[in-house]
Structure 1
Amino acid sequence: MKTLRSPLHLHLRLLAVALALTPMAAVQAKTPADQLIVGMSMVNLFSIDPANAPGLDASGVNANLYDTLVKRDQGNPEQHLPQLAERWAISDDGRQVTFHLRSDVKFHSGNPLTAEDVAWSLYRVMKLNYGLATTWKAYGYTAENIQGLIRATDAHTLVVDLPQPADPLLLIDSLATSPSAVVVDRLAVLKHEKNGDLGAAWLVTNEAGSGPFTLAKWTANDTLVMTRFDGYWGGPARMKRVLVRHMTESQSLRLMLERGDLDLAYGMAAPDIKAIESAATLQVQPLQRGTMYYVAMSMKQPEFANRKVREAVRNLIDYQGIDQQVMPHYGMLNQQPMQLGLQARLPDPGYKLDVAKAKALLTEAGYPHGFSTTIRTLSEPPFIDIAARMQATLAEGGITANIVTGTGNQVYGAMRARNFEMIVARGAERYPHPYFSLRTFAYNPDNSDSAGLPNFQGWRASFFDQQLNALIDRAGVERDATARLNLYHQAQQRYDEQAGPIMMISQMTDTAVSALDVRGFTGDDAEATRYLGVYKQR
């Protein structure tokens, strides 16, 4: 018996066939209107404890979970805006800063945020003594003196004394920008303290903040979910939820953006970004960062302790080739230990690939036939691509380099432990300020292993130059602008003369690709993008 089919049934069948023949890109899905779905690599996200989370990925997460006393005014190092602190005053002698806090701030736990929480958060950083404590050690703070120097005089007043002469504006800037300067909920954290660790084990994967979002879920190298904190003192975020998916393949990011499964993506490779720049449903936003890509050598290795060898390596880096062929959409050529655009920055010295000069320098150094070494790096672009080009050009000079890849913790952990030979990496100083740039890359106040100063890249590389230290120290307390500028210039020249072992290649640029209906997104200059004002225009 023949089955009779209604006109409606035939119409639906024809529609199904038409849809099956339609290209996938044309049938675009839509993410929920009140949720932001983000795709990015989270391979370097191994802790979100503010006392031990120096990486860019952790900073981006914690910027949404926590608050700081003050914040930068669009990245201007001389201007700061209120956040938890409504106002502040600097004493006439410049040795004391008094902060007056808002009285309406609550942590996610419901506990009121007080000046005691601020003081304790900084004490906790010093007591745990991870790498981020270096920021505060530079001002003269120690675990022993910080509680007497940074103290609450009442629930909403914090007094900060400088233990040694320094520009108080630098301290305020650190309170605005350091990943360790966020305020944690003292009472909530201490509930999870084990064996006197100040909650360190718990805060690796949990949070105790007052920011616009709370942490709902985090599965390493899989997903991270933040939900809106409706009691946020600055008003609730427009997105109910931010879901971050761990994605390392650029083509997968591109495909999911094109079909509407993602709202926002970071870390896409240059060819994929170029391919979608003209897409009608997507928008591309370049984000200038302060972080540097660099090649570093450990001066614990006898070869790299020799200045002529370091000069030879400097002549075996194809700066221009890397800039033109590897770094588009990743970074801009920068050969100084200071960020582009700063008044104090000297022009690039003009380093370039010069194999003949490198060979001559190696011969003078006692290595006419070169030597063997290793290059540690991440396996993702552009790190692995830089390392591969380095391997090739080093070989031209007679240096055999074996590339060793690993996770972020393995690669950067080896450098923080001063247990490496060469490394291709990316690191701070993320914030545009000449003093902090020089301190990060060129300064090392104590070259002993026991000093434990991993936030100083110079210490990691075992580079110590007392004259350079003195120039940077003087710049940090000099109040005359002209004299300070001259000191910054002298410091850069000295670093160049000494062939500092951390050789800048490029200043990071990031590219965020988002759906056309995503509004209110602006990438922060410190990779600490806040999603508070992001929404979808639908």
Structure 2
Amino acid sequence: MKRLPKFFLSAALVATMATSFSAVQAATPPDTLVHAWQIDDIISLDPAEIFEFSSSEIAGNTYERLINYDIKDVSKIYGEVAESWTVSDDGKTYTFKIRQNKKFASGNPLTAEDVVFSLQRAVILDKSPAFILGQFGFDKNNVKDKIKQTGPYEFTMETDKAYAPTFVLYCLTSTVASIVDKKLTMQNEKDGDLGYNWLKTHYAGSGPFSIRDWKANEVVVLERNPNYEKKAPLARVIYRHIKETATQRLLLEKGDVDIARNLNPEEIAAVSKNPDIKVDSAPKGTVWYLGLNQKNPNLAKPEVRKALKYLVDYAAIADTIMKYKGEVHQAFLPKGYLGAINDNPYKLDVAKAKDLLAQAGLKDGFSVTMDTTSRPETTGIAQAIQSTFAQAGVKLELIPGDNKQTLTKYRARQHDIYIGEWGSDYQDPNSNADTFAANDDNSDNAKAKPLAWRNAWDPGPLTAKTRAAVMERDAEKRAQMYEELQKAVLDDGPFVIFLQKIEVAAERKNVDGFVMGPSFDTNSVAQAKKN
């Protein structure tokens, strides 16, 4: 008998799951892992639309991709849904064979038809992450001719150019390339939407867990997928939205949650002394940055862009507000990526900043706004930057909001300055170069909307250089090209990059097997357990 995902959970049951772990109980159920985490960035559960940190982690534990990589050595790529693949002599046609006998959580078999449908669907829907596939020349008009099923467990994918094969394969490890259950999704299609309005809040995957329920800004409940090849030790995983870090700490110390994900440096130091708690950390391919909207006439001046780079106290932020959780890093490629540079040419230098502002005709400074999320660490960093900006006469007004509000405004280019994180979509350097150093169309109605577009920046020749780098098959030459791109953006780009993220999780000592990978979609609870 086929088993369908249970999205008819009663509100009472979800509420019980989310809130019943009281001080009296003082322990979560042995078959359940409970996270305390700020998950107010979740906008959608549809892999064709997911582009946020929290939802990417959830998708990584509930969907499978065609290709994946070893999180201990990201240079090692392997097939997840794909059994094998070949590349044609001209470097443009990829032929994939699909593993047989795989099933979705619904019980439906996973075949090449589902893979082709998933990739075509992501391109046709054209949501935020669709550009990851679109950069190979796919669009809604040609994708059905370019990605075609050739057998029950085989399909071909024809790119428009002979890209570096690793670049193509890494893109297929991204969340947007997750495989969805065609039959289940199309049973819920309305008005030709390819099941989009249904899948925004439902589930149709084959990963180790299924998504049982999501209540925005409250809870996400995952349930073990009985059809997954390697049975998950846990029956369920619950992500509770706990905004306040002090509350996360209290719940962890009482045993009401198993993992706290957003503790501040003081709280991390305190819980690390608790014999019932352990602290784990892992570097992330994520950078913290300020985005300076070039539609603002003051921010559009090159001298102002550079001045603001000298008005951040990088070391103080890393050593205090982000202690344990970040290290100074100013280039757009995180450490560990092909071609990454570790040059950090900027430091707090108010005198130099004032001189640059004077050159821009702003010797008395100017006023500007910055959109910030309500997360404590973001607020803390924003306030520190507000203070150092003021030393040069730059009056920075902070506009607080939740993640959805600030992201929506940012994606519409309606900000002055945005503070946030950027996590690579895949482990190839083009993931960040394509967003920080390239912008093919700077018009408001552009199809592709990378970070350069969001900040209304036309990088000029850097766009062509970015496109050339992704075609280069010689790894050493390619690395040199990315080094040059990073230096150019460091010098003149509208980005003040200041940290590379280190993710920290405080866990009850009986938790074992929660893995933090280099990206949020590789954070895994698949083999997590409680001893």
Aligned counterpart for 2:123 among listed residues 122, 126, 143: 126
What's the offset of the Cα at 1:48?
Answer: 1.2
Match of 1:479 among 468, 473, 478: 473
1:526-537 pair list within 5 angstroms = 526-528=519-521, 529-537=523-531
Counterpart in 2 of 1:213? Answer: 209
Partner of 2:283: 288
Preserved contact between residue 118 and residue 182 of structure 2 (Cα < 8 Å): yes
State the Cα deviation string for residues 482-513 of structure 1 (Å, max 9, x = none).
2212211221222233x211221111111111
The answer to whether the 8 Å contact 1:226/1:243 transfers is yes
Q: 1:411 aligns with which of 390, 406, 422?
A: 406
Q: Aligned letter for 1:437? A: N
Give the deviation of 1:133 after TM superposition. Answer: 0.9
Partner of residue 93, structure 1? 90
- Check the 8 A contact 1:308/1:361 in 2, yes or no: yes
Question: What is the root-mean-square deviation of aligned Cα atoms in Å?
Answer: 1.8
Aligned mate of 1:40, from 20, 37, 41 = 37
By how many angstroms is 1:159 displaced?
Answer: 0.9
Distance 1:247 1:416 in 2: 26
TM-score (norm 1): 0.91
Equivalence for 1:147: 144
Structure 2 residue identity aligned to 1:313: L
2:509 to 513, 516, 525: 516
- Identify which range, 187-196 or 167-176, moves more after superposition: 187-196
Alignment of 1:201-240 (within 5 A): 201-232=197-228, 234-240=229-235
| Code of the aligned partner of 1:482 | E
Determine helix, strand or coil for the equivalent of 1:320.
helix
One-letter amino acid matched to 2:364 = H
- SS of 1:424's equivalent in the other structure is strand
* Correspondent of 1:334 among 329, 347, 368: 329
3-state SS in 2 of match to 1:273? helix
The answer on whether the counterparts of 1:344 and 1:485 sit within 8 Å (CA) in structure 2 is: yes
Q: Does the residue aligned with 1:507 lie in a helix, a strand or coil?
A: strand
Q: Name the amino acid aligned to 2:211.
A: L
Contact 2:452/2:459 (<8 A) preserved? no
Kept in 2: contact 1:95–1:168 (CA 8 A): no
Equivalent position SS for 1:302: coil
Change (3 A) 1:148 1:235: same
Tell me how far 1:432 sits from its aligned partner. 4.0
1:166-214 Cα deviation digits (max 9, x unpaired): 11211111111x1211011112112222222222211111111111111
SS of the counterpart of 2:172?
helix
Asked if 1:364 corresponds to 2:359, the answer is yes
Count of paired positions: 509
- For the pair 1:81 / 2:75, whether they are aligned, the reply is no
Matched, 1:106 2:99: no
Map of 1:441-520 to 2, 5 A cutoff?
441-454=436-449, 456-497=450-491, 499-520=492-513
Question: How many Å apart are 1:53 and its aligned residue?
Answer: 1.3
- SS of the counterpart of 1:374? strand
Structure 1, residues 116-160: CA drift from partner, whole Å, max 9, x if none?
A: 211111221121211101112222211111111111111211211
**Structure 2: any 5+ residue segments left out of the alignment?**
1-21
Matched, 1:166 2:166: no
**Mapped partners of 2:338, 2:129: distance in 1:** 27
Structure 1 letter corresponding to 2:481:
L
Q: Within 2, Cα distance between the matches of 1:301 and 1:460?
A: 12
Q: Please state whether the residue corresponding to 1:450 is helix, strand or coil.
A: coil
Residue identity opposite 1:93 in structure 2: D
Matched, 1:255 2:250: yes
- Specify the SS of the correspondent of 1:303: coil
Amino acid at match of 2:219: T
SS at match of 1:465: coil
C-alpha spacing 1:53/1:26, structure 2 compared with 1 (3 Å): closer
Unaligned runs of 5+ in 1: 1-24
1:434 matches 2:433: no
Name the SS of the counterpart of 1:272 in structure 2. helix
- Residue type of the alignment partner of 2:416: E
Q: What are the equivalent positions in structure 2 for 1:6-17 lying under 5 Å apart?
A: none
CA distance in 1, matches of 2:72, 2:187: 36
Contact 1:175 1:181 survives alignment (8 Å): yes
- Give the deviation of 1:430 after TM superposition: 5.2
| Correspondence for 1:7 | none
Q: Displacement of 1:226 after TM fit? A: 1.1
> For residues 53-95 of structure 1, what are the alpha-carbon distances to aligned partners after superposition, in whole Å with 9 as ceiling and x for unaligned?
1001001111122110111112544321221111111222221
Distance in structure 2 (CA, Å) of the matches to 1:371 and 1:26 = 51
Deviations for 1:10-61, whole angstroms, at most 9, x for unmatched residues? xxxxxxxxxxxxxxx9998332211111111111112111111100100111
Please list the CA deviations of residues 323-358 of structure 1 after superposition, one character each: whole Å capped at 9, or x if unmatched: 112111321110001111335122323201111111
The superposition leaves residues 208-243 of structure 1 with CA deviations (integer Å, 9 ceiling, x where unpaired) of: 1111111222111112111111111x2221101112
The 3-state SS of whatever aligns with 1:478 is: coil
Is this contact kept in 2: 1:77–1:433, CA < 8 A? no
TM-score, reference length from structure 2: 0.92
CA contact (8 A) 2:94 2:157 kept: yes
- Aligned partner of 1:520: which letter? G
CA distance in 2: counterparts of 1:449 and 1:307, whole angstroms: 22
Measure the CA separation in 1 of the matches of 2:405 and 2:248. Answer: 25
What SS does the corresponding residue of 2:57 show, helix, strand or coil? Answer: helix
Q: What's the secondary structure of 1:477's corresponding residue? A: coil
Could you tell me how far apart the structure 2 residues matched to 1:380 and 1:309 are?
28
Question: What is the letter of the counterpart of residue 105 of structure 1?
Answer: K
The alpha-carbon deviation at position 110 of structure 1 amounts to 1.8
Q: Is the 8 A contact 1:71 1:81 kept in 2?
A: yes
Q: Any idea what the Cα deviations from partners look like across 1:372-391, whole Å, max 9, x if unmatched? A: 11000101121111111111
> Cα 1:139–1:76, aligned 2, differ >3 Å: closer, same or farther?
farther
Contact 1:88–1:97 under 8 Å retained in 2: yes
Q: What is the alpha-carbon distance in structure 1 between the residues aligned to residue 210 and residue 25 of structure 2? A: 30
The equivalent of 1:8 in structure 2 is: none
| Secondary structure of 2:61's aligned partner | helix
Are the aligned partners of 1:428 and 1:440 in contact in 2 as well (CA < 8 Å)? no
How much does 1:393 deviate?
A: 1.4
SS in structure 1 of the partner of residue 299 of structure 2: helix
Q: Do the aligned partners of 1:294 and 1:426 also contact (CA within 8 Å) in 2?
A: yes
Residue pair 1:431, 1:525 contacting (<8 A) in 2 also? no
Letter in 2 for 1:317: V
Instruction: Report the Cα distance in structure 2 between the residues aligned to 1:26 and 1:129, rounded to whole angstroms.
Output: 47
3-state SS, counterpart of residue 39 of structure 1: strand
Taking every aligned residue pair, what percent have the same amino acid on both sides? 34
**Structure 1 match to 2:178:** 182
| Matched residue SS, 2:305 | helix
Residue aligning to 1:51:
48
